[in-house]
């Protein structure tokens, strides 16, 4: 009871009052927090109470907010320009001990605050921006100290490091080609340096302050970090795609698309998929939490998702910029040196090339006379001919004899089903009777032991048995 | 003169059916996949995605069925023969076409004049067809990495992480489609360029006359006219069929003479 009276006029409550937030707003926010933490919204009052007690006692958990190679956009998102919202007030009140951008103090006194917090231990680090490592880390100096050293020093004693924004997760913009700063994310940097501290990645450009507050509050209240997925992101937040929860999804399923900005379809709020929306492969809860006091977000405001939540923490080259540009194309560009191209260009180009080669090949087949049944068979496989196998030679001799016989009969074996017979070349049409007679002749000669005899002998036998068909038209007709 | 008789034993009926299923599934998958890549035709995205998933399962199941058939069914080890062996043997290196990779390549590059005597499948053909099965499974895997209901399964998130994210997976899946397209161009071209017999056999199970191959001596031994032309040489026909074919040929001859 005493506690409740106390919370009624807590410091946090007074601060909220000053900014025009009612207690109802605050409790609603605590309900949202509960949702993000995977708790029932019934936990909202308990969260509110815990936050207020923490605020009264002067910070539940000290937070050191470091700036790396950043544009300060994530801090900017937190402060929402001129109108701070509840997450910021909560965060400021409960914890923020050091922030280069937000702290009233500056210079030595601020650095002093950081050192004291590190010495006291039991703090969290929020790291904003990439870790630029070029020139042995000298590319980023803060207060005369290398940015990489500050991160190492601060992270070593921390209970956890929250990498805030895609740059902190894997280098982001900073690591995009050509990556002169040799930037990388916090997780990769710390693991390379052998610092064993849990890293929570909260991607997006900038990161949504509500996600940050949710993670910090969960840690403060439960003493545990949220369950992480394989990219070290809070699983409850980052395991579904933007596409899964998109308000334009119905238009996608209906096949109603915007193909051009400024079109009638755009006015109707159709799906932005053909304009290169990266929502289907971007894991982020943007459509749920939304932005700027849950007012709106990119796709709702009419811009295709640029996929800024795509991170590859251990591979800075997989940063969301290189993975998703050009933003208005369906696929990312591939780059070979200075040349970049779309996968479709390569694939379709290769296919056209193959078809062209086949066209040329087809002309070659026509010229070579192979289109109608293919070229003549070799009498014997080359391998067999070369390796001198008697059985193969024998079979080859028989096959050759067969071809000669068929040729003589004018049977041209073409692949047209009709099996035309040559007579234009002065060869006589083969009749069934003749063929049968010849076949019998072959069988007879085989039975006589010709199978072992050389092919020439068999041919000689046949010559005796048959009148050469080519002679007949000349003699017979005249 | 390299035209072999095309017997049904080369492609038994189950294989004709799996070939049809492959053809239809691949065509539908390619068309619906292109629509999913970029919705050129408005209004059919839902249909395209439904078809794409349905035929993806059809193609995978068909591929599994075909592999099982290889061990269950029998087919001819070479063109021009009705001899049957366990189908999988026609996919392994065969006595009939050992040492023939270069023979085939040089034939198609016009470096040699004569058509190689080979087994049912030429060596490059056999290798490419064998690669199609893994390609089907691989493409299906990359597809499941992108499909909403399965993309979160650990086995698929593992692959997605391995290739560096869903965008890369999407591009890989897309490239797989083009591999199928290129394969189909070459496959259709090579199977038709020397005549329609292979196509009429695999699609309509229609036999066409040609040279007869003896798997024992591994060479050509005769000509089977299939009742349209007189047979010649050794055709390994049973007497009943031989007599029927001869009668059919005689009838044709008589009809032709009558007409003249």
CB–CB contact B42 A255 (8 Å): yes
Task: Considering only the beta carbons, identify the residue of B3, B42, B43 that sits closest to A413.
Answer: B3
| β-pair type (B219-224, B210-214) | antiparallel
Rounded to a whole number of angstroms, the distance from the CA of B42 to the nearest CA of chain A is 5
Average pLDDT over residues A124-138: 94
Pick from A205-219, A336-350, B44-58, B213-227 the range whose average pLDDT is largest.
B44-58
Which residue out of B223, B237, B244, B248 would a mutagenesis test of the A interface target, given it has the greatest number of A Cβ atoms within 10 Å?
Answer: B223
Mean pLDDT of A336-350: 90
Token representation of residue A145:
């100290």
User: Looking at per-residue confidence, does A113 or A58 come out higher?
Assistant: A113
Lookup result for tokens 């008589």: B254
The CATH code of the domain that includes A207 is: 3.40.50.700
* Cβ atoms of residues B61 and B54 within 8 Å: no
Listed in sequence order, the residues at least 6 apart from A403 whose beta carbon sits closer than 8 Å to its beta carbon are A376, A377, A379, B1, B220
Q: Would you say residue A278 lies in a domain?
A: yes
Residues of A in contact with B253 (CB under 8 A): 431-432
- CA dist B50 and B187 (Å) reads 28
How many whole angstroms separate alpha carbon A280 and alpha carbon A275? 13
Instruction: Report residue A3: phi and psi, to 5°.
Output: -60, -40
> A355, B114: Cβ pair inside 8 Å?
no
| Single residue among A276, A305, A340 that ends a domain in this structure | A340
d(CA A131, nearest CA chain B) in Å: 20
Domain ranges of chain B: 8-208, 225-259
State the architecture of B8-208 in CATH terms. Up-down Bundle (1.20)
Neighbours of A259 (CB within 10 A): 16
As a whole number, mean pLDDT of residues A298-311 equals 95
Provide DSSP, A142-199: ETTEEHHHHHHHHHHT-SEEEEESHHHHH-HHHHSTT-TT-EE-HHHHHHHTT----E
Residue A3 included in any domain = yes
How does residue A426 score in pLDDT terms, banded at 50, 70 and 90?
very low
Number of domains composing chain A: 3
pLDDT of B72: 96
Measured between CB atoms, does A327 come within 8 Å of chain B? no
What ipTM is given for this predicted complex? 0.92
Computed from CA positions of residues A101, A107, A112, A113, in that sequence, does the dihedral angle turn out positive or negative?
A: negative
Max distance between CA atoms of chain A, in angstroms, equals 134
- Residue-range definition of the domain harbouring residue A262: 60-340
Residue that is last in its domain, among A301, A319, A340: A340
Pair (A115, A223) in one structural domain: yes
Tell me, yes or no, whether A185 and A326 share the same domain.
yes
Please name the residue of chain A whose CA is at the shortest distance from the CA of residue B180.
A351
At residue A81 the predicted structure's pLDDT band, cuts being 50, 70 and 90, is low
A351 and B CB contact within 8 Å = yes
> Which of A253, A265, A255 has the alpha carbon at shortest distance from A302?
A265
CB contact under 8 A, A274 and B253: no
Q: Which residues in A lie closer than 8 A to residue B214 (C-beta atoms)?
A: 395
Task: Establish if A366 belongs to a structural domain.
Answer: no
pLDDT per residue over A319-342, tens digit each?
999 999 899 999 999 888 788 889
**CA A475 – CA A470 distance, rounded (Å):** 10
> CB–CB of B170 and A416 under 8 A?
no
Q: Do A281 and B222 touch (CB under 8 A)?
A: no
| A112: alpha, beta or left? (left if phi > 0; alpha if psi -120 to 50) | alpha
Residues A168, A206 contacting (CB under 8 angstroms): no
Does A147 lie in the same domain as A266?
yes
Flag if B195 and A350 touch (Cβ within 8 Å): no
Q: Residue B225: CB partners within 8 Å, gap ≥ 6?
A: A419, B209, B231, B232, B245, B249
Closest chain A residue by Cα to residue B225: A419
The minimum CA-CA distance between B256 and chain A, rounded to whole Å, is: 11
**In chain B, what percentage of residues exceed pLDDT 70?**
99
Contacts B229 to A, Cβ<8 Å: 411, 419
């Amino acid at each position: 009871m005493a506690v409740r009276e106390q919370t009624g006029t807590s410091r946090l409550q007074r601060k909220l009052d000053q900014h025009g937030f009612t207690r109802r707003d605050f409790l609603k926010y605590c309900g949202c927090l509960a949702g993000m933490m995977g708790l029932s919204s019934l936990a909202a009052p308990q969260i509110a109470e815990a936050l207020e007690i923490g605020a009264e006692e002067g910070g539940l958990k000290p937070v050191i907010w470091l700036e790396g190679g950043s544009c300060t956009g994530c801090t900017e998102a937190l402060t929402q320009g001129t109108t701070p919202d509840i997450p910021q007030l909560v965060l400021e009140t409960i914890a923020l001990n050091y922030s280069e951008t937000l702290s009233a103090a500056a210079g030595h006194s601020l650095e002093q605050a950081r050192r004291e917090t590190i010495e006291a231990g039991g703090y969290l680090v929020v790291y904003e921006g990439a870790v630029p490592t070029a020139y042995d880390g000298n590319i980023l100096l803060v207060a005369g100290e290398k940015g990489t050293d500050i991160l190492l020093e601060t992270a070593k004693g921390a209970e956890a490091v929250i990498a805030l924004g895609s740059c902190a997760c894997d280098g982001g913009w900073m690591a995009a080609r050509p990556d002169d700063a040799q930037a990388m994310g916090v997780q990769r940097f710390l693991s390379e340096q052998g610092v064993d501290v849990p890293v929570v990645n909260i991607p997006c450009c900038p990161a949504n302050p509500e996600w940050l507050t949710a993670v910090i509050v969960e840690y403060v209240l439960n003493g545990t970090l949220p369950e992480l997925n394989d990219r070290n992101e809070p699983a409850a937040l980052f395991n579904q795609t933007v596409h899964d929860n998109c308000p334009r999804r119905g238009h996608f399923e209906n096949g109603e698309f915007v193909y051009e900005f400024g079109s009638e379809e755009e006015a109707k709020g159709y799906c932005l998929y053909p304009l290169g929306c990266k929502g289907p492969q971007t894991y982020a809860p943007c459509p749920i939490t939304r932005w700027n006091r849950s007012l709106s977000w990119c796709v709702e405001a009419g811009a295709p998702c640029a996929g800024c939540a795509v991170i590859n923490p251990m591979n800075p080259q997989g940063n969301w910029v290189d993975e998703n540009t050009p933003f208005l194309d369906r696929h990312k560009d591939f780059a070979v040196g200075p040349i970049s191209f779309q996968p479709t260009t390569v694939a379709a180009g290769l296919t056209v090339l193959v078809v062209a080669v086949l066209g040329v090949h087809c002309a070659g087949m026509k010229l070579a006379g192979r289109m109608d049944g293919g070229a003549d068979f070799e009498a014997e496989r080359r391998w067999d001919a070369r390796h001198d196998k008697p059985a193969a030679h024998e079979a080859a001799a028989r096959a050759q004899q067969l071809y000669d016989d068929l040729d003589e009969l004018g049977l041209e074996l073409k692949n047209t089903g009709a099996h035309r017979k040559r007579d234009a070349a002065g060869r006589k049409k083969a009749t069934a009777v003749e063929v049968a007679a010849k076949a019998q002749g072959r069988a007879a000669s085989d039975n006589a032991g010709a199978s072992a005899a050389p092919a020439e002998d068999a041919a000689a036998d046949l010559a005796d048995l048959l009148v050469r068909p080519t002679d007949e038209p000349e003699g017979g007709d005249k | 003169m390299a035209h072999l008789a095309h017997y049904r034993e080369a492609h038994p009926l189950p294989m004709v059916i799996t070939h049809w299923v492959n053809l239809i599934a691949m065509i539908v998958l390619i068309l619906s996949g292109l629509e999913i890549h970029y919705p050129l035709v408005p209004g059919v995205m839902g249909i395209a995605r439904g078809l794409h998933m349905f035929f993806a399962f059809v193609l995978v199941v068909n591929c599994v069925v075909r592999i099982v058939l290889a061990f269950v069914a029998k087919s001819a080890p070479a063109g021009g023969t009705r001899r049957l062996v366990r189908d999988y043997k026609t996919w392994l290196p065969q006595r009939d076409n050992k040492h023939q990779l270069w023979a085939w390549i040089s034939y198609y590059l016009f470096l040699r004049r004569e058509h190689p005597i080979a087994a049912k499948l030429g060596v490059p053909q056999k290798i490419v067809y064998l690669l199609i099965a893994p390609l089907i499974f691989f493409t299906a895997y990359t597809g499941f990495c992108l499909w909403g209901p399965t993309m979160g399964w650990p086995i698929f998130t593992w692959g997605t992480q391995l290739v560096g994210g869903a965008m890369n997976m999407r591009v890989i899946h897309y490239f797989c489609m083009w591999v199928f397209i290129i394969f189909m161009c070459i496959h259709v071209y090579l199977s038709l360029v020397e005549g329609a017999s292979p196509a009429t056999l695999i699609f309509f199970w229609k036999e066409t006359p040609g040279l007869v191959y003896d798997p024992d001596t591994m060479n050509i031994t005769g000509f089977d006219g299939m009742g349209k032309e007189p047979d010649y040489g050794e055709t390994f026909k049973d007497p009943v069929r031989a007599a029927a074919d001869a009668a059919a040929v005689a009838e044709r001859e008589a009809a032709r003479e009558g007409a003249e």
